[in-house]
Structure 1
Amino acid sequence: MQTKKQLQMMTAKHDALKRNLTGEPVKCHFLKGGTCFKCDPDWEPHRNKCYRFLTEKLNWDQSRSRCEKLGGQLVKIDSKDEQVRVALFSTQQNKFWIGLTDQETEDEWLWVDGSRLDKRFDSFWSGKEPDNWKGTNSDGEDCATMGEKGGAAGLKSWFDRDCNKLQKSICEKSASTGRVKFNCE
């Protein structure tokens, strides 16, 4: 009996979250006290961030611009948890640009916000990557992608690629926070 009441309460809270204060459905990562992180439609919530997986194939610079036009940026991996979450969507068929490049200075990997790649995350590179292979472009490979070569085992799913290659991309932006009123009777 208690389980049925709990289910009804959770269903009512879920419905209230969908309606939100604006009356429009939102995706919400619920926190204690009626506060939630909210993402716009077409964005996926995870903790305090929102992700949008773009299926249109663009080069790295075009992908960066597209994310910015959508109010975000190419994804910056800040933690193992985030790497695991984003890697779930990356496979051989789903290769995504991430916001990491060494276009300015070879082997100095920078995120789109200008911060340096934290050495703790060097373990996310697959095999002998980054290798700056120059087989298709004499400038080498200066932009980072996830999910290549059949999906690398575990967390090792980053590869450097020719920035002109066309592929999908992952955008991210901060989630907005808000209070949600529940009308549970």
Structure 2
Amino acid sequence: MSLWHGVELADRESWDYVPFERVGPLAFGMGLDDAAACIPGFARKVTLIPRHGDLVKRVRFRALEDPTYTTAVTGYFGQRVGLAVVAVDALRGPRVTVDGMQLVGRAPSEATDQLREHALARGESPEYSVEGDAASEKFGLMVRAQRAGDHLLTRLVLAKRGDWASTLHDCIPSTEWSVR
């Protein structure tokens, strides 16, 4: 098995995203045990992260049959806010639909163009992170590029802001920025 082997998009679970409320079965604000219980068939690995606002824990979820070094979904939890950030892996994460757009496991340029057109069609300005990733404060999402062998695919990062973060960019923990 190659280090870059992923799961075909057609074979992945399909989750929808309701901005600032939930992604698939994961609801923002839920506790770690509740999050683990709502996605059966996944193992979890909990680690402490350098404090980022209220966020203190990172939980990596992987399918039980997948190798231990893989991750499908990463959740970031705060002491007060519970689940506040969800990152969906480009290679193994579920397909996530946002307002009719499928944003996981795609070529970054395609997802960026689709988000750009979506914003323009609604009279809004396209948004980008400081690293040039497509983003949307309205949807609480950022589409990051993740390496897949010789290619890049989209990794979706979803966040619910609170009094601990002023902008979407402020929500993203430093451990997430290092995922390539």
Q: Normalized against structure 1, the TM-score is what?
A: 0.26
Larger CA Rg, structure 1 vs 2: 1
More helix by share: 1
Q: Whose relative contact order is higher, 1 or 2, with alpha carbons under 8 Å and at least 6 apart? A: 1
